[in-house]
Amino acid sequence: MLASSVDDMSSAVQGAPSRWESQRSFDELGRPLRDITFCVVDLETTGGSAQGGSMITEIGAVKVRGGEVLAEFQTLVNPHTEIPAFIAVLTGISNTMVSDAPSIESALPAFLEFAAGTVLVAHNAPFDVGFLKHFAEQQGRPWPRFEVLDTAKLARRVITRDDAPNCKLSSLARVFGSTTTPNHRALSDARATVDVLHGLMERLGGLGVHTLEELQTFSSRVTTAQRKKRHLAEALPHSPGVYLFRDDRSRVLYVGTSRDLRTRVRSYFTASETRSRMGEMVGLASTVDGIECATALEAEVRELRLIAEHKPRYNRRSRFPEKVHFVKLTREPWPRLSLVRRVLDDEADYLGPFASKKSAEKCLSALHDTFPVRQCSDRLSREPSRAACVLAEMGRCLSPCDGSVDATTYAAVVRQLRDSLLRRPDEVVEAINARMAALAADERFEEAGIHRDRLAAFVRAAARTQRLSALTRCPEVVAARREDDGRWAVHVVRFGRLAAAGTIPAGADAHQFVAELRACAETVAAAPGPVPAATAEETEKVLRWLESPGIRLVEVDGEWTCPIAGATRHLAIHDAVNQSRLSLVPFDDRRGLAPVHQPAR
């Protein structure tokens, strides 16, 4: 079908990098602290607020990498205003000293050039960086996207009362034996801050903090017991995949996925993982298993399957994919709608799956409001003879049970119902919209809201079913996409289930690689229903990948099509309504409100 797509991939992979590591983002790998260039800066000012009119009187900075000083920067700055006497006494900077100094309009560009490409470090960084950003904005100068590290904030997470009475620079300089005593002069204070930074890094290095990302996110809430288990991550590779935490009896506690297994798992033992639930899980963990995956999609799918298989107690989502509901349009002489838990090979039509019974019931109500098919649960013979029910007396059922409707008329209504489920939902949408309009005109807004929710449940279910069914009808879809690392990711999907995944190695023949991947792909059998070969969540992940930009379809066996007039075109308005509701806090729903402590009176 698409030989040109494979040819394009063949030519592209010739220049692709041979190693995943050479292209992985810094955020995934973690940047070793020894390789980071830090610019430690300190300011002296005429007061405490740039917005309040205070000016900079001195800038001092030290550029360091790997424990070595690379360069220093120091300049007095003419504030063009009187320096308050108490500030002059504190800093030793007088009006005479700054009279011939450059203005901030000259000093700031020089400093920004000095600091370009570094990570800014300051003690109480919001103060120093706030002043610098203020004057950059005042000069109409774009502020570089510096990463900022605050040694005062970091020290509060590391230093105890036994170490120092407080986290002032002077106190920390004594703790870490700084060779420079802070004296409220910019360069001296910056030099002292360098020693404090190195002291903090040395102390945290023993706790497994070796990258900038770990340093930025370090938290003392991670217990010593957690940190002692960081060795569990050492055997894991720097590659995408799935990780499984297990207890001392090899029971799976938690399943997760990452583009870098070792870096992600290390974060549970060092700094960035501060959720109390995860801390409890790490305390029980004895081993961590890693499963390498060729692509991010394969990792996401494997995660879902492993969660469903093991049902780990610390995973909150995706544990029970079997607990779903479907709305079924039965195949019998007098068809009806019902809620079921399983899809059977009985030629019936199904809508779903629904994650909750409540959503399924809303959808069912929307359909019953539009189509007066029978709602009784027993089977009727071709020529039933019994008394009519209450719904028939209310005009909400065609009442085949007492002969009020003939089979031809009833079958016509069922055909309209089936068409709304599978192809065109307009009849349901129009009927419920008309009912909502009438209720709103009578100021019966609460009842109108009930119908709105029913319609939204139906539209979402119909759109989901149509998208899922379109893919699960196809015996095989092979697709490829060029990823951020320059390599081509290829996936084989059979009946909506991911059957194989791989990335074309540099220099490989794309035709041969795809052929071999298809040959070794999982055998998947067709089955009834919208999600026969996989869970709905897995198929939706596959769909999102297939619908993402840059996808090349290599082979499609079958017809992958969705109805033009399907339910998806109605989703936008219901999604907008839902977002609007989430942005408000109803007076009768205070579950989202955080409690506020009221002091005793």
184 is known as an active-site residue: yes
* Closest of 490, 489, 498 to residue 535, by C-alpha: 498
Taking the C-alpha atoms of residue 270 and residue 230, their distance in angstroms, rounded to an integer, is: 7
Taking the C-alpha atoms of residue 167 and residue 601, their distance in angstroms, rounded to an integer, is: 35
Q: Tally Cβ neighbours within 10 Å of residue 198.
A: 17
| Tokens 């030099």 sit on residue | 191
SS3 75: strand
- 394-403 contacts at long range (C-beta below 8 A, 24 or more positions apart): 396/368, 396/372, 397/372, 397/373, 398/372, 398/373, 398/374, 399/374, 400/334, 400/374, 401/374, 401/376
| Tokens 């400093």 sit on residue | 111
SS3 301: helix
Taking the C-alpha atoms of residue 79 and residue 87, their distance in angstroms, rounded to an integer, is: 13
What are the distances in angstroms from CA 218 to CA 101, 168, 191, 222, 446? 40, 19, 23, 8, 49
151 in Cβ contact with 200 (< 8 Å) = yes
Taking the C-alpha atoms of residue 327 and residue 461, their distance in angstroms, rounded to an integer, is: 9
556: its two tokens: 């499609």
- Given the residues 80, 123, 134, 184, select the one marked as catalytic: 184
Helix 571-582 with 445-472: angle, nearest 10 deg: 130
* Residues in the chain, overall count: 601
* Closest of 183, 191, 188 to residue 89, by C-alpha: 183
- Residues known to be catalytic: 184
